Amino acid sequence: MRTELTEIAVVGAGSIGCSWAALALSRGLTVHLADPSETAREAAADAVTVRLADLRAPRDAAAKLVLHDDAAEAAAAADLVIEAGPERLDLKREMFAALDAAAAPDVLLASSSSGFGPSSFQDGCAHPERVLVAHPFNPPHLIPLVEVVGGEATAETAVEAAFNVLEQLGRRPIRVRAELPGHVVNRLQAALWREAYDLIGRGAISVADLDLAVSNGPGLRWALLGPIATQHLSGGPGGMAHVLEHLGPPMVDWWADLREPELTPELTAQLVSGVRSELAGEDEAVRQRRDAALQELLALKARLGLDAESRGGR
């Protein structure tokens, strides 16, 4: 499987696709960005430029961006193909069949799908062994995490190649060893959102205070080590064994008390109204400050040896 990158194809010029494109451009690669929508293609150059500025890329980095209306044409020129289209299975099946027919047989075909496993769309390909999911975390030009998921027909050499090329792009891939709806990270988020929505819906806390509770409490620790290692360290010398012995039983009681809220129109309206009030119309300014803070946090973690490269994997 090809791992030496000079040119990559990104299929889909939405937010995720433009982030992938900027990341590759910042690494000196030529990027063939394809989208059938003329409007999306026209907006892509500006979106990529903004992301290149986030990455402090050289001023001429955008010169290697090539826009296409035909995904197959883009794939034919690439050493790696990343699909970032709509989250619709029928479109992914159709798209991967076309990409498989166009790309050289040794070129990896990776989907950014946030929820579908590759087995659900690789069976229409002549070379299904090179098809997998490489699910990034938004915004993917800044956040290093990528979940790599193989399908029933995916070759182990394709998974190894995916790790190789993603690491060349400065990403931190992790191996997800089962095809699950939402993979791993989105399932973890969904579990937290389920309880958050229920707490808000039952009037236990406001939207703004819930965000403050996570971002100023456990979120600070999770950003550095993650929930399991954090739990272990909270146990002192006894570590995880002590935590589970003493706090495990009450935690099981809390699990039993968790509910499954319905996403009713009333709860939806409450969530929408609450976050609008929280951000006070400054969504873009908050996003910019968040992205700047992300970069400083990543730099701090690297300096302290808490970054992805300093810790284990797979």
For residues 136 and 20, the answer to whether their CB atoms sit within 8 Å is yes
Same domain assignment for residues 171 and 253: no
User: Which residues, 6 or more positions from 22, have their beta carbon under 8 angstroms from its beta carbon?
Assistant: 48, 51, 52, 54, 55, 57, 141
Q: What is the pLDDT of residue 313?
A: 57
**Residue 297 located in a structural domain:** no
Burial of 93: CB neighbours in 10 Å, binned 0-12, 13-18, 19+: middle
Q: State which of 176, 200, 234 marks the end of a domain.
A: 176
**Residue 312 located in a structural domain:** no
Residue 203 has pLDDT above 70, yes or no: yes
pLDDT level of residue 314 (50, 70, 90 thresholds): low
Amino acid identity at 276: R
The CATH number given to whatever domain includes residue 88 is 3.40.50.720
Same domain assignment for residues 16 and 105: yes
**Residue 313 located in a structural domain:** no
**pLDDT (tens digit per residue) in 70-90:** 999 999 999 999 999 999 999
136 phi/psi in degrees, rounded to 5: -85, 175
Cα–Cα distance for residue pair 80/245, rounded to 1 Å: 48
H-assigned helices in the chain: 15-26, 38-54, 71-76, 89-102, 156-168, 185-201, 207-215, 218-222, 227-233, 239-257, 265-279, 283-303
The domain in which residue 267 lies consists of 186-281
The CA-based dihedral angle spanning residues 198, 204, 209, 210, taken in that order and rounded to the nearest 10 degrees: -30
pTM of structure = 0.92
For residues 170 and 144, the answer to whether their CB atoms sit within 8 Å is yes
**Residue 181 located in a structural domain:** no
68 phi/psi in degrees, rounded to 5: -135, 150
Residue 310 has pLDDT above 70, yes or no: no
Residue 185 has pLDDT above 70, yes or no: yes
Same domain assignment for residues 20 and 159: yes
Same domain assignment for residues 19 and 135: yes
Share the mean pLDDT of the chain: 95
Same domain assignment for residues 172 and 195: no
**Residue 293 located in a structural domain:** no
Same domain assignment for residues 121 and 153: yes
The CATH number given to whatever domain includes residue 270 is 1.10.1040.10
Q: Structural domain tally of the chain? A: 2
Same domain assignment for residues 172 and 211: no
Same domain assignment for residues 99 and 165: yes
Cα–Cα distance for residue pair 197/191, rounded to 1 Å: 10
**Residue 14 located in a structural domain:** yes
**Residue 303 located in a structural domain:** no
Nearest-CA neighbor of 260 among 193, 199, 198, 201?
198
Average pLDDT over residues 179-202: 97
Token code pair at residue 5:
């990158």
Token code pair at residue 289:
């400050």
Q: What is the pLDDT of residue 307?
A: 82
Cα–Cα distance for residue pair 126/187, rounded to 1 Å: 31
Residue 312 has pLDDT above 70, yes or no: no
Report the share of the chain in percent with pLDDT over 90.
97
Burial code (b: 16+ CB inside 10 Å, e: under 16) for 152-178 equals ebbbeebbebbbbbbbebebbbbebee
Average pLDDT over residues 14-22: 97
**Residue 154 located in a structural domain:** yes
**pLDDT (tens digit per residue) in 226-239:** 999 999 999 999 99
The DSSP 8-state label assigned to residue 181 in this structure reads T
Same domain assignment for residues 28 and 131: yes
Same domain assignment for residues 217 and 94: no
148 phi/psi in degrees, rounded to 5: -105, 125
**pLDDT (tens digit per residue) in 113-140:** 999 999 999 999 999 999 999 999 999 9
Same domain assignment for residues 167 and 203: no
Same domain assignment for residues 64 and 108: yes
